[in-house]
A and B are shown apart, each in its own frame.
Chain A
Amino acid sequence: MKQFFIFVKKEFRHIFRDRKSLLIIILMPIVQIILFGFALTNEIKNSNIAVLDNAKDGSSRAIIQRLDASRYFNVSQILNTQADIETAFKSGKIRLAVVFQPGFRESLLHTNHAQVQLIADASDPNTATTVTNYAANIISDYQKELNGQVQVPYAIKPEIRMLYNPQLKGAYNFVPGVMAMILILIAAMMTSVAIVREKEINTMEVLLVSPLKPLLFILSKAIPYIFLSLVNVVTILLVSVTLLEVPINGSLLLLMGESLLFIITAVSLGLMISTLTKTQQEAQMFSLMALLLPTLLLGGFMFPIESMPLPLRIISNVVPSKWFFLIVKDVMIKGLGFSAVWKESLILAGMSLFLLAISFKKFKTRLA
């Protein structure tokens, strides 16, 4: 037991004396959360739009006012001729142009039919779709108000409710995503590097010619990183709750427990990588290619898995982050209990056992 205790103490020494790496480990989650929260967001806020108002009547002005007042748009340019639209788009300063035909209000009131043109910059198709939808909604809202008194005989009025995330905040999606990414990076990569370093600086040779048990060696390598990863979970949750106002709807204890499970899976992955590589650089490259990329691409938080082709959907099942992402969304955002995530938890536990068995079996008790 003393042997184990001193070995763990030694690992913590390595971590705390490498100030730069420690700083990266502690700060990376905070920086990533802030980046995803404020800079790399796919929500549309304050998009600049241009207006070409050929009608200049009450209705067109009212609509322009509403567009400007909404938090999605900011009317930055008032255009005079049709030709100005092209120039405005080419300057890259606007995302949407709104064009009113002459006599807009008259046609609306007398013929019940008026046209407004929405021109969007579709070089970024997702944004173009989103901004035109937002603008169309604002215009139809205005129309409903005009119709307020008159009863339309047959009308289907869809009532939309956005469950769990009524404000459609991106943070609800990426906080679980960043958690999965950070944990797989820290826990798996750092563990693998820590073990491979012993091979690289030759201390492995001495450790092998000692009564030290392989299991003890592996455990003492893993424990400091499990601890550090739990610290990361806490910082991520703190930053999300305070800065991004993402609530923890479910049980905090369950969330921490599931995080611990995922950390163990990640550490097991790191152990397996360490048995396959010889230098720290190799271990790092391997971790980045085999862990970070699949987590980003197939983890489900950047690109929806449902819309991927079948082969990718099948491959995504072996990416641990995918399951953890589902668990965190269920527990943290939807506030569900263990009964909702037992299947995912079981899959993660199975993966951990499998990886641990492989790395234990592949652990070399000799040099070659």
Chain B
Amino acid sequence: MNAVAVNNIVKTYGSKKETVKALSDISFTVNKGELFGIIGPDGAGKTSLFRILTTLLLADSGTASVDEFDVLKEYKQIRNRVGYMPGKFSLYQDMTVEENLEFFASIFNTSIEANYDLVKDIYVQIEPFKNRRAGKLSGGMKQKLALCCALIHKPSVLFLDEPTTGVDAVSRKEFWEMLKELKKQGITILVSTPYMDEAAMCDRVALMQAGKIMSIDTPGNIISKFNKHLWAVRSEEMYRLLKDLKNYSNTESCNSFGEYHHLVLKNDDRDKEAVLKYLQVQKHMNIEMKPEQPNIEDCFMQLMNNNYDRS
């Protein structure tokens, strides 16, 4: 039994003159109790997909179900049992932490006390500020409160739309720890994020780009599918280096990645000396070049380039 099943969903926006295809023929399933990540840049279609699954939007074609309930016909049952945290945290800024939580509990016909154990681990972190208005909380605390509000009715499936966007690195890490704890309680969790490094925290991820899913697998499998040798290169002039590497005749792809540029050579060439020689001709100083383990972002870039070549 699947917690979420999506079959051939298509969604377009806009008028007849100008249409934007937000989702083109998306299909996937999420197992019960899985922590499933949907990873992709802004505009990939993540929010549209979440809104269709939470019954807020209607797809143009295709079917989808949550907990075996159809998003079109049985939307009321779905609304009873899912938790949803939209991209912009939806809290009442003029109400205190406690009042917000109490309110969201009551609209699901439950109370804070009834499901306190579910949110306890998260709520204790913001409980010292329970009489503070939500508008005066820091970004990380707002996010925790929003998560508590989405959890307070013990949902069977939890939809988190970019929960870590705009939150500092420490809070992000904490947040993922919290999600892992929630997973232990048997809640199926769908998270979308533009941060590639967060993919490693998920059981399985779907890499999305321009309304299409490029790959669905465990993070480990996705990385192992990266079949080429990857080099990390740096020198004193990083920007010129990127340009020069992209112009190099034997370069397949080169992307800036923190303090190194990640380079893949054509036909999986391993000829380090030739590259170094080329860079020396270009008068680069202090050149460093070493083999590198690929990460999800490298895989994403490769998939994206492959898709681009094919289309």
Which A residues fall within an 8 A CB radius of B?
2-3, 6-7, 10, 13-14, 17-18, 201-203, 205-212, 365-368
Residues 177-211 of chain B, each 1 if its beta carbon lies under 8 Å from chain A, else 0:
00000000000000000000000000000000000
Residue B79 lies at the interface, judged by CB distance under 8 Å to chain A: yes
Task: Determine whether the beta carbon of A2 is less than 8 Å from that of B88.
Answer: no
Residues 205-227 of chain B, each 1 if its beta carbon lies under 8 Å from chain A, else 0:
00000000000000000000000
Residues 50-94 of chain B, each 1 if its beta carbon lies under 8 Å from chain A, else 0:
010011111000000000000000011001101011101111111
Give chain A nearest CB distance to B181 CB in angstroms: 22
Cα distance, A312 to B88, chains bound together (Å): 47
Q: Which residues of B contact A203 (CB under 8 A)?
A: 90-92
Cα distance, A13 to B133, chains bound together (Å): 12
Task: Determine whether the beta carbon of A209 is less than 8 Å from that of B57.
Answer: no
Q: Which residues of B contact A366 (CB under 8 A)?
A: 55-58
Task: Determine whether the beta carbon of A205 is less than 8 Å from that of B56.
Answer: yes
Task: Determine whether the beta carbon of B107 is less than 8 Å from that of A208.
Answer: no
Residue B116 lies at the interface, judged by CB distance under 8 Å to chain A: no
Binds A, one of B96-104, B236-244, B248-256: B96-104
Task: Determine whether the beta carbon of B84 is less than 8 Å from that of A206.
Answer: yes
Main secondary structure of the interface of A (DSSP, over half): helix
Additional 17 contacts, C-beta under 8 A, given A7-B107, A209-B82: A6-B102, A10-B99, A10-B103, A201-B93, A202-B89, A202-B90, A203-B90, A205-B56, A206-B86, A206-B104, A206-B150, A207-B107, A208-B79, A209-B84, A210-B104, A211-B79, A211-B109
Cα distance, A365 to B54, chains bound together (Å): 12
Task: Determine whether the beta carbon of B95 is less than 8 Å from that of A10.
Answer: yes
Give chain B nearest CB distance to A207 CB in angstroms: 7
Which B residues fall within an 8 A CB radius of A?
51, 54-58, 75-76, 79-80, 82, 84-86, 88-95, 99, 102-104, 106-109, 149-150
| Residue among A2, A17, A367 making CB contact with B94, cutoff 8 Å | A17
Q: Which residues of B contact A2 (CB under 8 A)?
A: 106, 109
| Residue among A7, A202, A212, A368 making CB contact with B57, cutoff 8 Å | A368
Give chain B nearest CB distance to A221 CB in angstroms: 13
| Residue among A17, A208, A212 making CB contact with B56, cutoff 8 Å | A208
Task: Determine whether the beta carbon of B107 is less than 8 Å from that of A209.
Answer: no
Which 8 pairs across A and B sit closest by C-beta, in order of nearness?
A: A6-B106, A209-B84, A203-B90, A202-B90, A367-B56, A206-B90, A202-B88, A17-B94
Task: Determine whether the beta carbon of B107 is less than 8 Å from that of A212.
Answer: yes
Give chain A nearest CB distance to B62 CB in angstroms: 16
Cα distance, A212 to B80, chains bound together (Å): 9
Instruction: Check A201/B54 contact, CB under 8 A, given A3-B107, A207-B107, A211-B108.
Output: no
Q: Which residues of A contact B88 (CB under 8 A)?
A: 202
